Amino acid sequence: MAKMILIDQQACTGCRQCELVCSIHHTGTANPARSRISTIKWESEGFYLPVVCQQCLEPACATVCPTNAIGKEATTDRVVVDHDRCIGCKMCVMACPFGAMGVDTHESRVTKCDLCDGAPTCVRFCEAGALTFVEADVAHLAKQRASGSRFAALVGAHR
């Protein structure tokens, strides 16, 4: 079953290590501006949220692409850009509700998260555990268990 990056917002400490290592993995330079993942921070509220391509099941980027350069890859479930077909019109950049599709001016192409071909670097380096790479079909279970624990503690069912 395909895996997905699961974001635990509450665990994020805002360190932006994910941005740093993503940019190094993909570009060989240290430059969060070229990272495919961004940790958006609201400093005065102490609210931090990593935002990355959600590898949508029905990607808006694919829908608007005039050359059908964007599609879902069957084995990994990734949304992939075929750069041979892509004309760089940037409609996908406009269409994506998450801002996950970006433009890399160094490479003159649109870029997005490609899950690092199966071993996401951001996940590898996230110490806080805000980013995990999990089987998509059971991604919700950990949260169900956590919510169940809170209820169980309330009724004294477990310690």
Partner 1 sequence: MALNRKLAFIDLSSGEIEISEIPRELREKYLGGRGLDIHLLFKHLEPGVDPLGPENVCCISAGILVGTPASASARTHIMAKSPLTGLLGSSNMGGFFAPELRYAGFDHLVIRGQAEKPVCLWIHNGEIEIRDAAHLWGLDTFETQEAIRDELRDPEIKALAIGVAGENLVRFANVVTGHKNAAGRTGMGAVLGSKNLKAIAARGTMGIDLAQPREALEYDREVCNQIASTKFGQIMQRWGTMFIYGVTNSTGLVRVNNFQSNQHPDSEKIECENMDEHSTGTAGCFGCQLHCRHRYVIKDGKYAGTYGEGPEYTSQGAWGAEVGCRDFPTILYGNHLVNKLGLDTLETGSLISWGMELFEKGIITKEDTGGLDLKFGNTDAVIEMIRQIAHREGFGDVLADGPKGAMERLPAEAAPLCVHVKGMSNLHSDERPTPSLALGIATATRGSDHLRSRPAIDLYYLPEPLLRKIYGSPVPYDGPLTSDYGDYDGKAWMVFWQEMLYMAVDCLGVCKFHTIFLSPNMPAFDEFSKWLKLIPGLEMSPKDVWDVAERAYNLERLFNLREGATRKDDWLVDRYFDEPTPRGFDVVRNKTLDRDKFKAMLDEYYELHGWDKKGRVTDETLERLDLAAAVGSN
Residues in contact with partner 1 by CB under 8 A are: 10, 13-17, 20-21, 23-25, 27-34, 43-46, 48, 106, 121, 124-125, 127-128
> How does 129-151 read in b/e, with b if 16+ C-beta sit within 10 Å?
ebbbbbeeeeeeeeeeeeeeeee
Contact in structure between 51 and 37 (CB atoms under 8 Å): yes
Structure tokens that stand for 46 in this block: 């102490």
Please state the length of the chain. Answer: 159
Single-letter code of the amino acid located at 22: C
**What is the smallest separation between the CB atom of 22 and partner 1, expressed in angstroms?**
10
**What is the smallest separation between the CB atom of 46 and partner 1, expressed in angstroms?**
3
CA distances (Å), 2 to each of 12, 57, 100, 133, 144, in order? 24, 12, 20, 10, 20
Among residues 9 and 147, whose Cβ is nearest to partner 1? 9
Among residues 26 and 79, whose Cβ is nearest to partner 1? 26
Among residues 45 and 84, whose Cβ is nearest to partner 1? 45
**What is the smallest separation between the CB atom of 20 and partner 1, expressed in angstroms?**
6
Among residues 44 and 108, whose Cβ is nearest to partner 1? 44
In 3D space, the residue among 55, 71, 75 whose CA is nearest the CA of residue 63 turns out to be 71
Contact in structure between 127 and 17 (CB atoms under 8 Å): yes
**What is the smallest separation between the CB atom of 123 and partner 1, expressed in angstroms?**
12
Among residues 23 and 55, whose Cβ is nearest to partner 1? 23
**What is the smallest separation between the CB atom of 57 and partner 1, expressed in angstroms?**
30
